[in-house]
Chain A
């Protein structure tokens, strides 16, 4: 990690990176709140906020999944350092998305339970959120040590299921025009493909250093 400036005193590289990603990830929330305050969310502000937070959650989740492919393809080391921030931001927006949905349903447990049990569109979104909970919970620094790396990593592979369900939720959620969900699926497919291809190309090194990745 000190490759760039080997002659210097060892210093935390890119100290601004994680704070910047966190602040950047929160910026859309600030814009959303300001839009809500000024009435710029339009005639149906609840729905608009619901859509925006849901989309932010999915986009951030996709960005967090882009970290490993970036490392594999370009051999960059910095993406791995912002992965946790991106994942936590995604979880935050997903939770907010769910809260707004609960508000939209008037916090009526009956309506929500019916929705989750009977409407596949809601079911998959809800499962995606549930799957993100243990990942957010074990994002703390000591979690890897406590779980052991292999178990921690297996657990965090749930993100592939979560993001796929989230994309399906998005696909089912739009009426007729599937351009945007299609782009999301395309991005995911590309990221999954990069992992697969690169893991095959360099099997020895990958297996040697990162079992099960």
Chain B
């Protein structure tokens, strides 16, 4: 009896059998329940990934701008604060969307200094509070499009990168801006895994960096940035995929050469240096023609340059955006 006959189901052959005793019935009921619990519970534990809940106070407050809309604002509905702070990609805290919200508490955002160097006339290391005090903070309600084909509407608070760059005076040699994020596995537990080459590095061409849409953000929805959103200082480039907008910046370097960037090194066929939002150029594994706005069940068409084409398309005149994706 070690080898069974082929998949024949004994269930299907009703035959007269002795009625189970009460004791047997109870035993079978217990075994049934135990098996359901073990298999069902095991499968659930193994496969269920519930969304993060309630990691930040006041998450249900939807921020309403109490000022006239600015020249760059979108009038689209702002993504609720709760979603914007619990659904994040920030691999320094882990790969799960809820990891940054759950584990962000280990990041110390003060004191925080930013080193500005490279091809500038006034290289310096400046304390973040000092840096912030140099410029008036502006509200910018931007669409944000992730390369994974979801999007949000984010009311950032920050200052134009151009203002900072003008203050440190790029030399005539400067053609690119390289950004480096904090590298500290103590504070950023995700960096203990070697999945990406830490620290996270991103870059822009100087004209992209000087574009008035390009923002250095320190706040979101009228509140100080949370770690999961890139505290205490992050880049925001709204016409590019989200991964270009590097978080927790500690260094800004003006360079002559195009900097190597983390994702374009890690997967050059999937993530280019430019990473302009482009519905006509698909990711190898999915179409970029449409996206899901977080909070909606359906999809909406993706706009060229994430809807900012009028302001930025001229930066890429003459470039083949299939090649320079």
CB proximity to A under 8 Å, residues B36-63: 36-41, 43-44, 46-53
Q: Given A43-B295, A111-B287, are A12 and B39 also a contact pair (CB < 8 Å)?
A: no
**Which residues of A sit under 8 angstroms from B46, Cβ to Cβ?**
55, 59
Tell me whether B39 and A41 are in contact (CB under 8 A). Answer: no
B126 on interface, CB distance cutoff 8 Å? no
Q: Given A43-B87, A44-B150, are A52 and B9 also a contact pair (CB < 8 Å)?
A: no
Q: Given A40-B50, A115-B287, A144-B8, are A77 and B1 also a contact pair (CB < 8 Å)?
A: yes
Q: Which residue of A lies closest to B33 (CB)?
A: A20
**Which residues of A sit under 8 angstroms from B87, Cβ to Cβ?**
42-44
A210 on interface, CB distance cutoff 8 Å? yes
- Segment of A160-168, A172-180, A188-196 engaged in the interface with chain B: A172-180
B22 on interface, CB distance cutoff 8 Å? no
- Segment of B10-18, B153-161, B181-189, B252-260 engaged in the interface with chain A: B10-18
B196 on interface, CB distance cutoff 8 Å? yes
**Which residues of A sit under 8 angstroms from B83, Cβ to Cβ?**
43
**Which residues of B sit under 8 angstroms from A41, Cβ to Cβ?**
50-51
Output the least CB separation between B4 and chain A (Å).
Answer: 5
Interface residues on B, range: 35 or more
**Which residues of B sit under 8 angstroms from A8, Cβ to Cβ?**
18
B28 on interface, CB distance cutoff 8 Å? yes
For B47, give its contact among A1, A43, A59 (CB under 8 Å).
A59
Give the CA-CA distance A52 to B2 in the complex, in Å: 36
Tell me whether A24 and B297 are in contact (CB under 8 A). Answer: no
Output the least CB separation between A105 and chain B (Å).
Answer: 8
Tell me whether B4 and A71 are in contact (CB under 8 A). Answer: yes
Tell me whether A55 and B299 are in contact (CB under 8 A). Answer: no
CB proximity to B under 8 Å, residues A1-43: 1, 3, 8-21, 23-28, 31-32, 35, 39-43
Tell me whether B36 and A27 are in contact (CB under 8 A). Answer: yes
CB proximity to A under 8 Å, residues B103-136: none
State the main secondary structure of chain B at its contact with A. Answer: loop
Give the CA-CA distance A5 to B52 in the complex, in Å: 51
Tell me whether A12 and B17 are in contact (CB under 8 A). Answer: yes
**Which residues of A sit under 8 angstroms from B12, Cβ to Cβ?**
141
Tell me whether B47 and A28 are in contact (CB under 8 A). Answer: yes
A136 on interface, CB distance cutoff 8 Å? no
Q: Which residue of B lies closest to A209 (CB)?
A: B3
CB proximity to A under 8 Å, residues B238-286: 266-267, 282, 284-286
**Which residues of B sit under 8 angstroms from A177, Cβ to Cβ?**
95, 193, 195
A56 on interface, CB distance cutoff 8 Å? yes
**Which residues of A sit under 8 angstroms from B35, Cβ to Cβ?**
16-17, 20-21, 24
List A residues at the B interface (Cβ < 8 Å): 1, 3, 8-21, 23-28, 31-32, 35, 39-48, 51-52, 55-56, 59-60, 71, 75, 77, 80-81, 83-84, 104-106, 111, 114-115, 119, 121-122, 141, 144, 149, 152-153, 172-173, 175-177, 205-206, 209-210
18 further A-B pairs in the complex, CB-CB below 8 A; given A24-B36, A24-B37, A144-B7: A1-B1, A16-B28, A16-B29, A16-B32, A18-B11, A19-B32, A20-B36, A20-B39, A24-B39, A40-B53, A45-B51, A104-B292, A106-B290, A106-B298, A115-B286, A115-B287, A175-B148, A176-B91
